[in-house]
Chains A and B, each alone.
Chain A
Amino acid sequence: MAEHDVDVVVIGGGPGGYVAAIRASQLGLKAAVVERENLGGICLNWGCIPTKALLRSAEVKHLIDHAKDFGITVGKAEIDLNAVVERSRGVAKRLSSGISHLMKKNKIAVFMASASLGGMAKGKRQVKLDNGDMINAKSVILATGARARALPGIEANGETIVTYRDAMTPKTMPKTLIVVGSGAIGIEFASFYADMGVQVTVIEAMDRILPAEDDEISAMAAKSFTNRGLTLMTGAKLGAVKAGKGVTAEVTHQGKTQRLTADRMILAVGITANTDCIGLEQTKVKIDRGHVITDGSMRTDEPGVYAIGDMTGAPWLAHKASHEGIIAAEHIAGLGEGHGVKKTDIPGCTYCRPQVASVGLSEKAAIAAGHDIKVGRFPFLANGKAIALGDEDGMIKTIFDAKTGELLGAHMIGPEVTELIQGYVVAKKLETTEEDLMHTIFPHPTLSEAMHESVLDAFDKAIHF
């Protein structure tokens, strides 16, 4: 059993944890990361990145299927599922080893183990590793992330009923698929499998898909998916699910209970923070509805213990975790009190087809918050670049406070909007008003012109619509 003395130990090597460790190291602190599985966490190994690789394959397939529209004649696209999955795994692996390199470069000790918080000894927090080692740290950053939430009575078996991991490493393509849950994860899988030729049914308990998005965006996404042949059952209640050769699910939808059968079911009904088995029970760390409570500097109620990322609550996004990691590291290094992460400054992206991206308040939320608002909309069908791309499904919606001109929210659906959203994120962070956005010169011809036009439209000045 070895003992290690560090300034900061980060438990969890995901996008929150490894970023916190690098920032701590940059600030001259001796940092260590404890990771039980893969550096890069879910995001890099089993989430954001590998699914983007899968969706790229789906996009290529989609383009080939429509090559004729662009004057190119090709044969029928054939899917080599193993190669698709292998490419996705390769991308994840490459990035994970990149994180190892970053750890070395920043002289961060990495312990591949599970860890739990111990008591204090000589002014330092003891962190026990399951390999018998002990780390003594002045500060601890908890960054253990989250796991897929289970639905009572429905057990994932890895074959016919699966969660994200098995969903992104299919050995065979099902003919029919039920996706339970229409948040970002569920919808991305639905979109991927649909593009790969699978008959997909989405079951959502809320009254619309992508329920975190603005109503109008949800509606447009639903229309687009329905046109692609997906079946969307919103406001649906999932009853008994039976696994056999395939899967049979009882679903109550629009007052009628029906039995759906499919080859496979993907469960994507949210996530649960990993707060068990890390020794929180003996501490003052406060947990409310499954999430660790922190202050603006990411401190928990236990002195010297910080928490970041998925375990501190929604939105469960890698970039939120990374940002919180930096706040925690900077606080530990004595750079002063942090101000947490403002939820309305956190963009959200869903990489389905068409893509969806947003930041800030939805129209409903803005009104509920008491704002007198101005709303701008601009459809991609009036954008030259989108037409040239042959990808004109979608629109950009912007919401401003009528009085102050504050950009309250931006909601996009359409081509490459996940890359476009950051323009509004920067604008929001810098607290620009509509005037600044109106006077900004957007390059022509780009999809981003639709961002400009949407702002202009909010003040009845749109040029091209």
Chain B
Amino acid sequence: MAIVTMPALSPTMTEGKLSKWLVQEGDDVRSGDVIAEIETDKAVMEVEALDDGKITTIVIAEGTESVAVGTTIAEILGDGEDSALSSSGAKEAAPASTASQAPEEPKEQANEAPVAAPVAPSAKPSPVASPADQSGERIFASPLARRIAEDRRIDLASLKGSGPRGRIIKADLENVGSTVTASTPQAVMPMQTGDDSSVIEHTQMRKVIADRLQQSMQDSPHFYVNMDIDIGQMLTARKALNDHAPEGVKISVNDMIVKAAATALMRVPEVNASWEGTQTRRFHHADISVAVAIEGGLITPIIRHADEKGLEAISSEVAALAKKAHDGKLAPEEYTGGSFTISNLGMFGVTSFTAVINPPQAAILAIGAGEERAVVRNGQLAVATMMTATLSSDHRVIDGATAARFMKVFKDIVENPVLALA
């Protein structure tokens, strides 16, 4: 007999969405069979059966969001074994709110129910109801705290209680603004139902993107420094490198930009940092997050120690990570904890743009398209392949002159790729 619980797919994972069941109650499974898919912040992971037996009970319904790690999601019984989940308790153990939650993602919902009610508290909770967060964990909060939270639209699950054994009390709600995000039903303007719009349920990734980028723009004072860079030399070097590269390796402009940025970060270490409230952390290596657009959002796999890696290594790593990202198979460790981000929209023909800093990092480099432009050289008009790069910096960490110095160093390296060897 085995209870299947919500697995922790990374050391930091606390909850995830049970996005899909691949088995049904009554199915026989063998140890190692994939039985479910779990969606974490940014990746989809598979859950395997650890025992042979029959799936007797599926406790957490497909589509349930924010299932806490360790929550019982199903039970597998061998022949003649008794359920550990009491017959009535099993289903009840599932959070009451799951039934109405969005089943699949990203799901375009037809218009008859434009305002789904997934997590909002019911208008008038029964006084005897044991409140539960979205994962079914009971939230300990005083009745008064619950009433105030409901009234002020504060998500109790987002609070830390200061009462006995972490119970949430009235005092914990003082000075807390509404934590229920604007996407919850009450905050949304009641939309007209009809055929001229449709509702897209937010995926876990969309929520994370929304939260983090909103936090970034709210918390970090952004400022922007841009620079036009001649990439002619870099393109020449790239061609030479690729001509001599081993089979299967094809170094891209982006790979070279990653390397140039990593080198620049080592020379201007003030930029390779993060704001930690009372202190600033400076990183000793350039762990470059590379923004990869994927279906439903974006993800930033990390080239660790890019400052120490050669272009070939960077190139093959970027390719491998990008593939994993597109397949939704990135391990959380592969996309969390970078020190600097590069976002490249050059392939879309974008000349230049500003990017939002990926917190807790202090800067992000936005790369535009390489294109032939008219430039003036020695008083003469000339044609050069130019690229505009824009650095968004968190001014709490990085001063204007520092950002400018970084851009200057970055420009010098891109324009003289040999400098990266120095």
Partners in one complex: yes
Q: List 17 A-B contacts (CB under 8 A).
A: A403-B151, A404-B144, A404-B147, A405-B143, A405-B147, A406-B144, A406-B147, A430-B143, A431-B143, A431-B144, A431-B145, A431-B169, A432-B143, A432-B144, A433-B127, A435-B143, A438-B127
Is there an interface contact between B142 and A432, defined as CB atoms closer than 8 Å? yes
* A430–B147 CA distance with the chains assembled, in angstroms: 13
A401 and chain B: residue at smallest CB distance:
B144
Is there an interface contact between B127 and A439, defined as CB atoms closer than 8 Å? yes
Which of the four size classes fits the interface of chain B? Answer: 10 to 19
A-B contacts besides A405-B147, A433-B147, A439-B127, 13 pairs, CB < 8 Å: A404-B147, A404-B148, A404-B151, A405-B143, A431-B142, A431-B143, A431-B144, A432-B142, A432-B143, A433-B127, A433-B144, A436-B143, A439-B128
Residues in A neighbouring B142, C-beta threshold 8 A: 430-432
Residues in A neighbouring B145, C-beta threshold 8 A: 431
* A228–B122 CA distance with the chains assembled, in angstroms: 55
* A405–B170 CA distance with the chains assembled, in angstroms: 12
* A283–B327 CA distance with the chains assembled, in angstroms: 70
Distance (Å) between the CB of B406 and the closest chain A CB?
Answer: 43
Given A405-B147, A430-B142: A436 in contact with B127 (beta carbons within 8 A): yes
Residues in B neighbouring A436, C-beta threshold 8 A: 127, 143
B122-161 near A? 1/0 per residue, CB < 8 Å: 0000011000000000000011110110010000000000
Residues in A neighbouring B170, C-beta threshold 8 A: 406, 431
Which of the four size classes fits the interface of chain A? Answer: 10 to 19
* A337–B28 CA distance with the chains assembled, in angstroms: 55
Interface centre among A403, A406, A439 (most CB of B within 10 A): A406
Is there an interface contact between A433 and B128, defined as CB atoms closer than 8 Å? no
Residues in B neighbouring A438, C-beta threshold 8 A: 127
* A64–B144 CA distance with the chains assembled, in angstroms: 46
A405 and chain B: residue at smallest CB distance:
B147
B152 and chain A: residue at smallest CB distance:
A404
Distance (Å) between the CB of A142 and the closest chain B CB?
Answer: 28
A394-410 near B? 1/0 per residue, CB < 8 Å: 00000000011110000
Within 8 A of A (CB), among B50-83: none
Within 8 A of B (CB), among A406-437: 406, 430-433, 435-436
A430 and chain B: residue at smallest CB distance:
B142
Distance (Å) between the CB of A455 and the closest chain B CB?
Answer: 13
Residues in B neighbouring A406, C-beta threshold 8 A: 144, 147, 170
Is there an interface contact between A435 and B127, defined as CB atoms closer than 8 Å? yes
B232-257 near A? 1/0 per residue, CB < 8 Å: 00000000000000000000000000
Distance (Å) between the CB of A371 and the closest chain B CB?
Answer: 13
B176-190 near A? 1/0 per residue, CB < 8 Å: 000000000000000
Within 8 A of B (CB), among A370-409: 403-406
* A438–B169 CA distance with the chains assembled, in angstroms: 20
Distance (Å) between the CB of A403 and the closest chain B CB?
Answer: 7
* A433–B170 CA distance with the chains assembled, in angstroms: 11
Residues in A neighbouring B151, C-beta threshold 8 A: 403-404
A342 and chain B: residue at smallest CB distance:
B171
Q: Which 6 A-B pairs have the closest CB atoms?
A: A431-B142, A431-B144, A435-B127, A433-B143, A436-B143, A406-B144
A436 and chain B: residue at smallest CB distance:
B143
A439 and chain B: residue at smallest CB distance:
B127
Residues in A neighbouring B148, C-beta threshold 8 A: 404
Residues in B neighbouring A432, C-beta threshold 8 A: 142-144
* A128–B46 CA distance with the chains assembled, in angstroms: 72
Within 8 A of B (CB), among A429-452: 430-433, 435-436, 438-439
Distance (Å) between the CB of B131 and the closest chain A CB?
Answer: 13
* A436–B125 CA distance with the chains assembled, in angstroms: 12
Residues in B neighbouring A430, C-beta threshold 8 A: 142-143
